[in-house]
Amino acid sequence: MADPLDDLIGEHADLEARLADPAVHADQAVARELGRRYAEIGPVVAAAHERDALRGDLAVAREMGPEMADEAAELQAQIEVLDARIREMMIPKDPADAKDVILEVKGGEGGDEAALFAGDLVRMYTRYAERQGWKTELVSATEGEMGGYKDIQLAVKSRDPANPVYGRLKYEGGVHRVQRVPVTESQGRIHTSAAGVLVLPEAEEVDVEINQNDLRIDVYRSSGPGGQSVNTTDSAVRITHLPTGVTVSMQNEKSQLQNREAGMRVLRSRLLALALEEQAAKDSAARGSQIRTMDRSEKVRTYNFPDNRVADHRSGYKANNLNQVLDGDLDPVIQSLVDAGNEAALKGDDGP
């Protein structure tokens, strides 16, 4: 039976040769996909080469006899550390991890306070994206009456194949709960409200094939802020994918064509997410955690303002640094979920 690590080393060498060929870069989509895969498997190949070198040094140290026993023991310890790291890196990756993201945040229970909290989450993700060097783009938004958002959709894109978006942000999907004194509360009582987060891997046209005959497209007049075009032209668009019932509405742009293009962008991502979820259901051992990270019905995290505490209910992470987290210092929280998922995968469990 072929060694999966040997296969990766061979694939890495093949990718390196292909990426060195100028002809490959004539098709930027192909070159980008090859570059992403090369960056993805590069660390495990480098670790394997480092381990091979240490094994060679260990063999030499043992041949030299007892006087090299201490050095041999140190080399053996380094090899064991690399063995563990390689096993972790060899855990099967979600094929969508390298994709960019459509991030949806919706104010849930709590009315105006929920919309304000949704705005806090959007700021948290925007600041986190800045820290990661990612680019954010507003796709659509409906603002709350007192601020924040009733719902908003952001595109988050990475400029670096080695630092993909979905592999990190996919853990954010679910219901986020806040406990604090709302600005509308005159008695100083603590209220609990929530916002739902959905993280969709952004689909390219090649990822999802959509038959135009499967679409019903309705147009209507926009409502709310948006300039002179609002309530004067039928610029808003509602797209329904008839086979699945998935519906997307867009009204932020002034033209019907722009709203349709934005709607199709979100529709492709929702259909890709649906396909991934269906695949996960067929292979729960390998992808069970993916189903839960995309389920907005599950309360995944609580933000407690009186105690300045953030607590993730899946990984068990807790810290009294809520202000820093809401300012975009999100990596420790996400890393706790990545580590829990890797540990579960090594044990053969479904993960957080």
Q: For 153-191, how does the pLDDT look when each residue is reduced to its tens digit (9 = 90+)?
A: 999 999 887 788 999 999 999 999 999 998 777 677 898
Residue 231 in any domain: the answer is: yes
8 A C-beta contact, residue 97 and residue 41: no
Structure token pair of residue 4: 């999966």
Residue 326 in any domain: the answer is: yes
65 in the same domain as 30: yes
181 in the same domain as 109: yes
CATH code of residue 194: 3.30.70.1660
- Which of 236, 258, 278 terminates a domain? The answer is 278
Residue 190 in any domain: the answer is: yes
169 in the same domain as 267: no
Residue 231 zone, left/alpha/beta (φ > 0; ψ -120 to 50; rest): left
295 in the same domain as 226: no
Q: Give the chain's domain count.
A: 3
Buried b (16+ CB within 10 A) or exposed e, 307-342: eebbbbbbbebebeebeebbebbbeebbebbbebbe
Residue 94 in any domain: the answer is: no
201 in the same domain as 295: yes
- Burial of residue 183, with CB atoms counted within 10 A of its CB: 0-12 exposed, 13-18 middle, 19 or more buried: exposed
Tally Cβ neighbours within 10 Å of residue 244: 13
Structural domain boundaries enclosing 38: 4-89
Residue 95 in any domain: the answer is: no
CA angle 69, 71, 73 (to 5 degrees): 70
Residue 45 in any domain: the answer is: yes
- Which of 231, 252, 278 terminates a domain? The answer is 278
pTM: 0.67
292 in the same domain as 159: yes
Please write down the HEC assignment for all residues of 286-315.
Answer: HHHHHHHHCCCCCEEEEEECCCCEEEECCC
303 in the same domain as 200: yes
156 in the same domain as 181: yes
Ranges in the chain, pLDDT < 70: 1-2, 186, 205-206, 223-233, 279-298, 346-352
How far is it, in rounded angstroms, from Cα 335 to Cα 268?
28
CATH code of residue 240: 3.30.160.20
Residue 283 in any domain: the answer is: no
pLDDT of residue 349: 59
304 in the same domain as 181: yes
Residue 96 in any domain: the answer is: no
pLDDT of residue 26: 92
Nearest-10 crossing angle of helices 69-89, 28-63: 160
306 in the same domain as 188: yes
How far is it, in rounded angstroms, from Cα 293 to Cα 270?
14
237 in the same domain as 196: no
270 in the same domain as 303: no
- Which of 89, 123, 156 terminates a domain? The answer is 89
Helix (DSSP H) and strand (DSSP E) numbers for the chain: 9, 11
